[in-house]
Amino acid sequence: MAKNSETKPDRLLSVHSLEGLSPQEIESVNRAGRPSAALIHETIRAEGESELRRPVSALLASGFAAGLSMGLSLLTEGLLHEQLPDASWRDLVTSFGYSFGFLIVILGRQQLFTENTLTPILPLLHHPNLKTLRQVLTLWMLVLAANIAATWVFALGLAEAPAFNSSERIAFLEVSRHALENDFEATFIKAGFAGWLIALMVWLLPSAGAARPLVIILVTYVVGIAGLAHIIVGSVEAAYLVVMKDATFGAYVFDFFLPTLLGNVLGGVLLVAVLNHGQIARELKEED
């Protein structure tokens, strides 16, 4: 890691070849420049290495907290849906509620499965061996299980809580129904785009600085307004439909869970992790 830190200035901007600049001016140019793809890659990879070393109990606790937090997306969307008039622009506003759970999870550093289609994959691509693969698969299974369990707990609580009136419960149902409105193929494709966007968001965050909340809101708003399939937010919605007897558990598994999980993983891993790793793999190999 010391070697990486020593080469960080060169990854920001190649200014050492410019004539007439003092060391102080070179450092100033580096600080003012945008982070390079290699620096972003290494920042995320370092985070991934750290996540792969976390204890099981920490992953489960953080994953469960993230699943509960993602339920706030349905809660916020539903309340906005119930309060706003039935107009053509209503979905444009209610979709901002979709971003709320993501803000809590990402800024709160909780474990979300779709973030992990990028973060721990970069260490695996850097160290393609069975040990790292086992670590990644273990992380995925633990985080996914904790996320999904929490979404069912949240859905059950939302259905049973006396704090919400009948019109609000109907709004939650109306917001949730899109999770099961498509067939396997359509859901898989929508999930692929969602996985791609969420992993791209993770790629953007290291260089976003104070704009991190805005990046999260903008990217997840697109996921929400486009009706794309996200395995955790959608699980809250589909589970709520099952709890309210508006759908069957079989529909949850075969019409939502399986195609969404496959699509999110494909979109996140292949379209972002592999391609973004590929663009700087030669540079990293030369530095090693």
The pLDDT assigned to 158 comes to 96
Handedness of CA 80, 81, 84, 90 (dihedral sign): positive
d(CA 46, CA 51): 9
Please identify every stretch of the chain with a pLDDT value under 50, giving residue numbers as ranges.
Answer: 1-13, 15
The pLDDT assigned to 11 comes to 45
- For 98, other C-beta atoms within 10 Å of its C-beta total 24
The domain locations on the chain are 2-32, 37-287
The pLDDT tens digits of the residues spanning 114-150 come to 999 889 988 998 888 999 999 999 999 999 999 999 9
CATH superfamily of 37-287: Glycerol uptake facilitator protein. (1.20.1080.10)
Do 189 and 257 meet the contact criterion of CB atoms below 8 Å apart?
no
